[in-house]
Amino acid sequence: MKIKICGIKEKEHVALLEELKVDYVGFVFCDSKRKITIEKAKEISCDYKNIKKVGVFQNNSKEFILKAYNEVGLDFVQLHGNEPVEFVENLQIPVIKAFNLRDKDSINKITQYKNIANLAGYLVDGAKGGSGEVFQWNWLKELSDDIREKLFLAGGINEENLEKAMQEVKPKVIDLSSYLEVNGVKSSQKIKRFMNKVKELKERGY
């Protein structure tokens, strides 16, 4: 079980994630209340080498994505828009493609991206990304094993349903953002509490 925490804007929180051995930190570069500039993301993350950096984009230009990738030293770019297969392929850098699942038929969109060489992950979220709403996990049962091996699960994960998510979905990565906030700001206490639950489950074999 790997953990990704998205929407980070403060250096102290990057430091905390590295200390707690969180696997991925996400910086949001598209329009969002969690948006950060390329310069700020570089400033707050440049001292930390043991955590993978993910840049979140939505229908941004190739030029802007590559600028952020190179200047911040990102490990992955996460695409939340309607970027077509050709766009993803042409980036030629590791991509996590996000999918907002409104119904069971939404699953069909995922398979269109299966044969892309630089696709590093499939992130599945509820109908409105970043809202913290849980969707129907049973929709994911039809996914092939090669997709499941790269599956990032987002949408309403918390201490109470984390174990159920691992049992039913078995994702490679659990992705969190809004649940770890208080009044729209990341809470160190909530992050620590969630990672204590992660540690407990890992000790039990998850």
Tokens standing for residue 189: 């206490």
Residue closest to 112 by CA, chosen among 103, 122, 102: 122
Q: Where are the domains of the chain?
A: 2-193
DSSP string of the chain?
A: -EEEEE----HHHHHHHHHTT-SEEEEE-SSSTTB--HHHHHHHHTT--SSEEEEEESS--HHHHHHHHHHHT-SEEEE-S---HHHHHHH-S-EEEEEE-SSGGGHHHHHTTTT-TTEEEEEEE-SSTTS-----GGGGGGS-HHHHTTEEE-SS--TTTHHHHHHHT--SEEEESGGGEETTEE-HHHHHHHHHHHHHHHHTT-
Type of residue numbered 60 = N
pLDDT tens per residue across all 206 residues of the chain: 999 999 999 999 999 999 999 999 999 999 999 999 999 999 999 999 999 999 999 999 999 999 999 999 999 999 999 999 999 999 999 999 999 998 888 889 999 999 999 999 999 998 776 556 789 999 999 899 999 999 999 999 999 999 999 999 999 999 999 999 999 999 999 999 999 999 999 999 99
Tokens standing for residue 130: 């970043």
pTM of model > 0.85: yes
Q: What is the CA radius of gyration of the chain?
A: 16
- Please state which of the four CATH numbers 3.10.129.10, 3.40.50.2300, 3.50.90.10, 3.20.20.70 is assigned to the domain occupying 2-193: 3.20.20.70
